Structure 1
Amino acid sequence: MVYKILQSYKVAFSGLSRETWLLSAVILINRCGYMAVPFMSMYLTQSLHRSIADAGLVITLFGVGSVLGAMAGGYVTDKWGFRPVQIISLLVSGMLFVLFSFVTDFTGICVLILVLSFFVEAFKPANNTAVASYSLPVNLTRSYALNRLAMNIGFGFGTSAGGILAAIDYGLLFWVDGLVYILAGLLITLLLPEGRKISKNAHEVSQSAGQSPWKDAYFVRFLMLVTMYMICFVLLFRLVPVYWKEEMHIGESTIGMLLGMNGIIIALFEMVIIQNFAHRKPDSFFIISGTVFSALAFLALVVPAVMPLVPAAVAVLLFTAGEMLALPYISTFVISRASEMNRGKYSAAYSVSQAAASIIGPAAGGFIAANWGYDVLWLALVLLSFGCALGFRFLFQSSVRLG
């Protein structure tokens, strides 16, 4: 039994390119310092004593900057290549995180978060394109899973350590974040090469309806559903920690461990799950199943419990299971829909949907929580997640009928 388990892990991690491993190693280091953003709402409400509405506004501005950064990042990636975009965005983001530790004026925070999020999000289309460039088509889903594995190991460590640092001094979060971002930018400069050269007629093999993803009607409908799912995803990491702190009286370090549990579970199981589930079901099955698990996660927050840690841990477990099922296949769908000529634009469109969720989710979620309470918010997210699952099902069924 132990031998079979070890073999499953060996097979899951074999056959990936050296560049894929190096990129994932850099992302791992970068995400180990990803502390400030998950604790931003708590920093504003606990350290600066701003209201939950003010925290929602700042997170919303983060989403606005993210939309602009994603669009610019995708466009520049297709023009300049993914390597310089990754390097510049990481270095500038690092310097801005350090600067954030010195700003306490609310107006200054709002301006800085807008600029910071622009550069943070510009990295994502370039990184998404880099993964595809360094990977063979047959390994694409596993390459994205490895990249996510690195992100989540780093995220697990970063949030756990971030909870400890937040309990000491929230300012430490920004310093660590900034220095690690700068280190990641330098490592990409030193370790990673340019990707494969793009052939002039590469666009001829594209599965997309045109060079612009926004003219691909099927893809746009897909992105609308992804945005619905990402609203739930964003709120789990933005408002749920505030709920745990204010309503369930869970401490910062424990919250950090709860959020870190998400990354640890993904690190242990996602690659093996993808390897063993490959070709057993269509990709659409896993995307739909992931959104259903999201609904169950928010439902767990509504269930009364004597020990607050129990529903909190169950919610993280369920949401993590859904994330492992949905996100790798969503990323694969996005890149598979594009060609080498417009991967940056398709990746940017995907990032825009995530950024839009960062705008809509905290603003709407904060408003609902402030006016009707957290339980109403969680039930609304249960309905949204189930509606998203049905939407994906109808969308993929229409594709089969058209095919």
Structure 2
Amino acid sequence: MYWLLWTGMLINRVGGFVALVLSLYLTSERDLKPSAAGLVVGLYGVGGMAGVLLGGVLADRWGRRPTLLLAHFGAVVFLGGLAVTERVPVIAALAALLGLMHSMPGPAFVAAIVDVVPAADRSRAFNLQFWAFNLGMAAASLLAGLLAEVSFTLLFTVDAAGTLVTAVLLLWKVRETRPAIGPAGNGSAGGEPRGGLHTALTDRAFVSFVGLSLLLAVVTLQTSTILPLAITADGLRPTVYGSVVAYAGLLIVAGQLFVPKLIDRWRKGTTLAVANVFLGLGFACVALADDVPGYLLAATVWTVGSMLAAPPNAAVIAELSPEALRGRYQSVFYLVFPAASFIAPAAGGAGLEFLGDWHWVICGGLGLLAAAGHLLIQPARERRAARLRQQEHHRLEVPATG
């Protein structure tokens, strides 16, 4: 089952490139200024914030499979709308709805992986998931640059086709993975917490980790929201942007499978701190880049950070999530990405327009701030994870009565 989910994510990412060039589409085809384009792209993130919460609740209550099907078939409809409309208000509305559908699958996909993969194998599973994501992203970035020079209508259509293929695969092959929960409903025997979204939102160790992940995401999403504008402002063609992002993806494809052996003996918080330092320095290097080699160098540095961050980031969320609330915990974590999808283009577009290269220096500072934060919260987070493991062990040892 894991490999079916893995394949679905890979196919989806190969076709999922609208978000990569939406800002470029709005400035080049619809004649919007960078700040206005950033706000429209930000609506994609607003829709995504609702999508991850809805996706997490549905994944726990309705099931992983129905949630994935609704999200993928819905995305096909809204991508079709973007392919045929030219009015900016309609594009803005469709961007918000597409963000809703694109964000819903995240909690369900990861919750399903946690359902079917034993705890000892999850770090490897998440590493392979990240590898597949970036293999798909590399292909998507090359396609995005090429299709953007031919036709944005064709670009939206191809994206819809890739999403439809994923939806059909899920409908045909993937079964439900949600674990059976006892009569307590949202809770279970043995000390597992009852509740819903509020349980995750009031878990201080978890929320602290999510806050630091938001800083990381705001910096990382510069590649898909603001970097295209910086590259074209330097007089380079859209294909250069596609090549830079594809290069970063190919680095991950080539090296990601070796990362677990490198970081196995490191504490997760330490690994994440080192990763954020590399990410911050990589984006700070964009301030000095004005040609292809400069952008490739910056991409190399930030990609090392992305490679180091992926396995421990996913593993921390899994170890902090009670079994009965996996979808909800994942949905709260996945709020990071639509929130960053709003903050990154909205603030980034204005930052690039009014601050110029200092925008990238600020991004570097955010990476260093997140690194320090991970070192500070590491002891409390590890204690919280250990308590949850003890509760789960006790629940398995003491069978429910009645």
The reply to whether TM is greater than 0.5 is yes
CA distance in 1, matches of 2:238, 2:194: 48
Structure 1 residue 400: deviation in Å? 6.0
CA distance in 1, matches of 2:274, 2:193: 25
CA distance in 2, matches of 1:205, 1:213: 19
User: Of residues 103, 107, 126 in structure 2, which corresponds to 1:144?
Assistant: 126
What pairs up with 1:190-201 in 2 under 5 angstroms? 190-195=172-177, 197-200=179-182
Residue range with higher mean Cα deviation, 19-28 or 36-45: 19-28
Instruction: State whether structure 2 residue 258 is matched by structure 1 residue 269.
Output: no
Instruction: State whether structure 2 residue 240 is matched by structure 1 residue 258.
Output: no
User: What's the CA shift string for 1:187-231, capped at 9, x where partnerless?
Assistant: 011111221532327745678796520010111111111111110
Shift in alpha-carbon separation, 1:400–1:114, aligned structure 2, 3 A: closer
Residue range with higher mean Cα deviation, 70-79 or 331-340: 331-340
Shift in alpha-carbon separation, 1:170–1:393, aligned structure 2, 3 A: same
Counterpart residue number, 1:215: 202
Conservation of the 8 A alpha-carbon contact between 2:222 and 2:345:
yes
Structure 1 residue 249: deviation in Å? 1.6
User: Of residues 322, 336, 339 in structure 2, which corresponds to 1:339?
Assistant: 322
CA distance in 2, matches of 1:384, 1:127: 29
CA distance in 2, matches of 1:333, 1:327: 10
User: What's the CA shift string for 1:247-285, capped at 9, x where partnerless?
Assistant: x222112211111112212122112211x1353111112
Instruction: State whether structure 2 residue 13 is matched by structure 1 residue 27.
Output: no
Give 3-state SS (helix, strand or coil) of 1:199's partner.
Answer: coil
Shift in alpha-carbon separation, 1:295–1:67, aligned structure 2, 3 A: same
CA distance in 1, matches of 2:238, 2:51: 30
Counterpart residue number, 1:230: 217
Structure 1 residue 116: deviation in Å? 1.2
CA distance in 2, matches of 1:183, 1:213: 33
Give 3-state SS (helix, strand or coil) of 1:56's partner.
Answer: helix
CA distance in 1, matches of 2:253, 2:192: 32
Give 3-state SS (helix, strand or coil) of 2:20's partner.
Answer: coil
AA in 2 matched with 1:228 = L
CA distance in 2, matches of 1:193, 1:278: 33
Instruction: State whether structure 2 residue 271 is matched by structure 1 residue 286.
Output: yes
Shift in alpha-carbon separation, 1:322–1:341, aligned structure 2, 3 A: same
Shift in alpha-carbon separation, 1:88–1:304, aligned structure 2, 3 A: closer
Give 3-state SS (helix, strand or coil) of 2:67's partner.
Answer: helix
CA distance in 2, matches of 1:143, 1:399: 22
Residue range with higher mean Cα deviation, 132-141 or 194-203: 194-203
CA distance in 1, matches of 2:256, 2:190: 30
Shift in alpha-carbon separation, 1:196–1:372, aligned structure 2, 3 A: closer
Conservation of the 8 A alpha-carbon contact between 2:206 and 2:381:
no
- RMSD of the alignment, in Å? 1.9
Counterpart residue number, 1:162: 144
Shift in alpha-carbon separation, 1:357–1:304, aligned structure 2, 3 A: closer
CA distance in 2, matches of 1:401, 1:133: 23
Structure 1 residue 293: deviation in Å? 0.6
Conservation of the 8 A alpha-carbon contact between 2:276 and 2:305:
yes
Instruction: State whether structure 2 residue 397 is matched by structure 1 residue 394.
Output: no
CA distance in 1, matches of 2:295, 2:39: 25
Counterpart residue number, 1:79: 61
TM-score by length of 1: 0.90
Counterpart residue number, 2:304: 321
Structure 1 residue 398: deviation in Å? 4.5
Structure 1 residue 401: deviation in Å? 8.2
CA distance in 1, matches of 2:288, 2:275: 21
Structure 1 residue 39: deviation in Å? 0.6
Give 3-state SS (helix, strand or coil) of 1:383's partner.
Answer: helix
User: What's the CA shift string for 1:363-394, capped at 9, x where partnerless?
Assistant: 11112222222x11001111111111111111
User: What's the CA shift string for 1:298-348, capped at 9, x where partnerless?
Assistant: 12112366xx11120011111111111112211111121112210101110
Structure 2 stretches of 5 or more lacking a match? Answer: 387-402
Instruction: State whether structure 2 residue 349 is matched by structure 1 residue 349.
Output: no
Instruction: State whether structure 2 residue 44 is matched by structure 1 residue 62.
Output: yes
Counterpart residue number, 1:4: none
Give 3-state SS (helix, strand or coil) of 1:39's partner.
Answer: helix
CA distance in 1, matches of 2:191, 2:248: 35
AA in 1 matched with 2:200 = P
Structure 1 stretches of 5 or more lacking a match? Answer: 1-18
User: Of residues 341, 361, 369 in structure 2, which corresponds to 1:358?
Assistant: 341
AA in 1 matched with 2:313 = I
Counterpart residue number, 2:355: 372
Shift in alpha-carbon separation, 1:208–1:223, aligned structure 2, 3 A: farther
Query: Sequence identity, in percent?
Result: 24
Shift in alpha-carbon separation, 1:208–1:231, aligned structure 2, 3 A: farther
User: Of residues 89, 105, 116 in structure 2, which corresponds to 1:107?
Assistant: 89
CA distance in 2, matches of 1:167, 1:279: 43
AA in 1 matched with 2:224 = F
AA in 1 matched with 2:248 = N
CA distance in 2, matches of 1:282, 1:377: 32
Conservation of the 8 A alpha-carbon contact between 2:19 and 2:224:
no
CA distance in 2, matches of 1:206, 1:279: 30
CA distance in 2, matches of 1:387, 1:203: 38
